[in-house]
A and B are shown apart, each in its own frame.
Chain A
Amino acid sequence: MGGSARGKAMVCPAPLSFLGGVDPSSGKILDPDCAVHGSTVRGKILCFPYGRGSTVGSYAIYQLRLNGKAPAAIVNRSAEPIIATGAIMSDIPMVDNVDTSLIMNGDSVVVEASSGTVELKGVRERHVVTSILRNGAKMLLLRRSEEVGSYQRQWAGVSGFIEEGETDIYAARREIAEEVGLIATKPTKHISPESFRNGDTVWTVHAFLFDVATRRISTDWEHDEYKWIRPDELAQYNTVPGLGVVAKRLLDESIP
């Protein structure tokens, strides 16, 4: 599919049905599961995970176009036939394979359907590492001190920026040496990066699991407290965004 578009993002966190989910005459979102319920999709970069509902939904998209209420572009996490068919019938540029949870309502978005890219104006991506250290059945949590630049007093794994020219595994080992004074060798597991949106930043977290031989560590100025906890206790702690998701993926043996 070709075409390009720019406009303000409208983000629906839940799967969207155009048949009954969007009013064809006004373009307003009727779906109560959608946080932007009541706003019009007209001219917007409409972002939602994927479509649902009956095949007549393709015609519902076309009806929006006939009424001059169509979105400027559609961005999906995964394309499915109903939405793709409707977008082609209606000449609406569409891009898929985009994590729509990283887009926020009102973002200025440029969509290039021919190359399949979505650009968020004024939003930057920062790559960080987070390592979960495990000893026996317990994992290490560090509380970020008041000296650090972000997420003060929140609990985290061993984490930090990936510096220019560094690989993620190198950065992980460097942070472990700096922050807890251990020499880490081969990670037990690493997972594909997880991205989280916070304000104007998309944090892309490269996460590793290391099994370490000791619970004796020495923290630096970046942390003021540490604890070895069971993974199921993690929910009781005020953690940095995304730590729970990353820890679950690293520690659940059924997830590759």
Chain B
Amino acid sequence: MHLTRAEEGTLAGEEGLSRQKAMELLVALGDIYGARRLIPVASAQVSGASFKTIGDAGISWLEEIAAEATVSVPAMVNPLGLDMRRWRSMGLTAEFHSKQARIVKAYDSMGLLPVYSCTPYLAGHRPRRGQHVAWAESSATVFANSVAGARTNREGGPSALAAAIIGKTAEYGLHLEENRVPRVLVKLKSVSEEHIPIAGYLTGKAAGNRIPMVAGLEMTDDQHKSFGAAVAATGAVSMYAFDRHGTESMRARRTYEERIVIDASDIRRCTEELSGDDDWDLVSIGCPHCSVRELKSMAAKLKGKKRKGEEDVWFCTSRKAYAACPEAVSVLRRFGKVLCDTCMVVAPIEEIYARTATNSGKAMVYLPTLGKQKASFRTTDQLLEAISR
């Protein structure tokens, strides 16, 4: 890989050990992927923020690098393992909280933005079309590439932090136009709005590591958020193209390696397979984090109703969205906990619950694995009906 003289200096340790390490990481990854150079990024988004996922080793590494380094571009932190203000109500231990607090402190001292959300693009950090960024969270990455039209690979936690510190990333993968070409056509036929997460779940499976062109469904940004999160969870791909408001690489008419149709019967079958049972400890909504619009819409449906059922309920959102709609939040709080900074995927849910229902296609991938849950998929309305009367 070609490095400028300044980059060579950083690599040689002229700017200290932390920046040297960060540069070593970027260069090593660039070499693995055959990048020709480093390119500036407009922002970074750093995963690996929950104590549950990075453990004691993660704390030590962050504290080691934080001793010297600061970020040189706006950098947002992914969700934590708990709500920093209301963690006691989640039933978590003081020990977990104190470990989590060390991670928060390390990120703070490096100057990262305490967004603690997988939806930074809804919290004032939406990248511009064509902009290069270094984002790590899979659902945010797929939104940045597919909907915002920015360019990012799915960075690992440490490499996104390295990119934030240096302000650059290696130019490979989805940073390059030729790798942003859809190779498989996924035609969605008569998919209802409430089954969009399932459509994403099936699209990711069908696409594998190929960028799909998704046709046949118009989606709002919120719907893209749920759809893309599921695509990135079941597929090994951080981008899809779609036939409205398309990204730039779709203009050319293409021939596809494969054409796949996902119709109502596929959706029905998959929904049944993921339906689990009716016995839950927790109803969890907000993977990815709920938008203001989603919080308001759920509040409108629940307003005037009474709470039903024994299970706990989590509405997960960003601190920014929470603050933007206090009335909706106060309605939702009669039905469950409105949690910020965290979600059912990265919180140590297995220490609290064993059976969880969710409306999220992405969470249906991670709840049974990372969360050790017996997971049940329901649509948003079905979940709201289950907890209200």
Contact = CB atoms under 8 A, between A and B. Distances in A.
Interface of A: 1, 24, 55-56, 58-60, 62-63, 66, 79-82, 84-85, 88-89, 96
B57 A66 contact: yes
Contact of B32 (A60, A63, A81): A81
A62 B57 contact: yes
A217 B367 CA distance: 68
B57 A63 contact: yes
Interface stretch (B21-29, B127-135, B290-298): B21-29
B61 A89 contact: yes
Nearest to B23: A88
A79 B25 CA distance: 13
Interface in B161-213: none
A85 B158 contact: yes
B70 to A, nearest CB: 19
B54 interface: yes
Interface string B55-91: 1111011000000000000000000000000000000
20 contacts: A1-B24, A56-B48, A56-B54, A62-B58, A63-B56, A66-B56, A79-B32, A80-B32, A81-B29, A81-B156, A81-B159, A82-B156, A84-B32, A85-B25, A85-B28, A85-B156, A85-B158, A88-B25, A88-B28, A89-B25
Contacts of A96: 32
B223 interface: no
A24 to B, nearest CB: 8
Q: Is the interface of A mostly helix, strand, loop or mixed?
A: helix
Nearest to B21: A88
Nearest to A2: B24
Contact of B53 (A56, A82, A89): A56
Contacts of B159: 81, 85
Contacts of B149: none
Given A56-B55, A85-B159, A88-B24, 10 more contacts: A1-B28, A24-B57, A58-B158, A59-B48, A62-B57, A66-B57, A81-B156, A81-B159, A85-B158, A89-B21
A114 to B, nearest CB: 12
B157 interface: yes
B29 A62 contact: no
Nearest to A79: B32
Contacts of A66: 56-57, 60
For A59, A60, A63, A84, the residue with the greatest tally of chain B CB atoms inside 10 Å of its CB is A59
B163 to A, nearest CB: 12
Given A58-B156, A62-B61, A85 B29 contact: yes
Closest 8 CB pairs of A and B: A63-B57, A59-B57, A62-B57, A55-B156, A84-B28, A59-B58, A88-B24, A79-B32
B55 A63 contact: yes
A51 to B, nearest CB: 11
